[in-house]
């Protein structure tokens, strides 16, 4: 079953490793973190996340990007868009993000991640202060008017089932570390706000 815990009788123990997260992060000269971008399709998550990745790279930081759409081509190719599959999609992304944090990286996640409980689960996987929830906020009308991939038009025509905002719900974060209204804040300014957020907590 998806997401099942390993049975207790499988003699699994966790291997103790002498090289730890702290040592790896120190070697990279940074504090690892997860920058978790959530929001409706077309809100601007990937656009802003890409700019943040570029700016961090220029600043000499070591990052890795987990883009929800891209991950669905590989690791999560077996998953669809039912609520259960969305939960599993985010669980896997969160676990991979945790591994990259353990490697010392600043992980940039761009995924609709519509449910509170899944984002909270991702937050709980890492240490306090390592998880930054960034709500890329734009109204459904704004996202639909942009429709960069033509998905809203197709969803309205009934050609896409379980489409977030139309036929599947989106639970907006109540207390994100940062909320960016992309109807009024341009992408460049938004990326700078994310960098300032990270800086303020280092
Ligand atoms: P998401 O990853 O949330 O689905 P994308 O980044 O793929 O969204 O697409 C957002 C679209 O909105 C892009 O075409 C982008 O150019 C446009 N856009 C307009 N204003 C902004 C803004 N302030 N921030 C980010 N994207 C914006």
Q: How far is ligand 1, taken at its centre, from the CA of residue 23, in Å?
A: 37
**63: enclosing H helix or E strand:** strand 63-67
Give the domain extent around 135: 29-200
Q: What is the pTM of this model?
A: 0.92
Looking at the predicted structure, is the pLDDT value of residue 32 above 70? yes
Q: Are strands 178-181 and 131-137 parallel, antiparallel or unpaired?
A: parallel
- Kindly give the number of the ligand 1 atom that is closest to the alpha carbon of 67: 2
- Number of structural domains the chain divides into: 1
Enclosing H/E stretch for 35 = strand 33-38
Classify 32 in phi/psi space as left (phi over 0), alpha (psi -120 to 50) or beta: beta
Residue 132 φ then ψ, to 5° = -120, 110
Which CATH number does the domain housing residue 188 bear? 3.40.50.300
Give the Å distance between the CA of 24 and the centre of ligand 1. Answer: 34
Residue 2 within a domain? no
Helices (H), 14-129: 21-28, 45-58, 68-71, 83-102, 116-125
pLDDT digits (tens, 9 = 90+) for 81-121: 999 999 999 999 999 999 999 999 999 999 999 999 999 99
């Amino acid at each position: 079953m998806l997401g099942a815990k390993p049975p207790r009788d499988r003699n699994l123990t966790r291997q103790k490793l002498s090289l730890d997260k702290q040592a790896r992060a120190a070697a990279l000269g940074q504090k690892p973190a997860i920058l978790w971008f959530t929001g409706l399709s077309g809100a601007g998550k990937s656009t802003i996340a890409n700019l943040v990745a570029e700016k961090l790279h220029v600043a000499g930081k070591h990052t890795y990007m987990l883009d929800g759409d891209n991950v669905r081509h590989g690791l999560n190719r077996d998953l669809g868009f039912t609520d259960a599959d969305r939960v599993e999609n985010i669980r896997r992304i969160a676990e991979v993000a945790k591994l990259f944090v353990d490697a010392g990286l600043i992980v940039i996640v761009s995924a609709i991640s519509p449910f509170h409980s899944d984002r909270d689960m991702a937050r709980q996987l890492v240490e306090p202060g390592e998880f930054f929830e960034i709500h890329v906020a734009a109204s459904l009308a704004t996202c639909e008017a942009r429709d960069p991939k033509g998905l809203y038009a197709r969803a309205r025509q009934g050609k896409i089932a379980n489409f977030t905002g139309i036929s599947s719900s989106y639970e907006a974060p109540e207390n994100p570390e940062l909320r960016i209204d992309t109807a009024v804040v341009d992408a460049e300014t938004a990326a700078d706000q994310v960098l300032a957020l990270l800086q303020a907590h280092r």
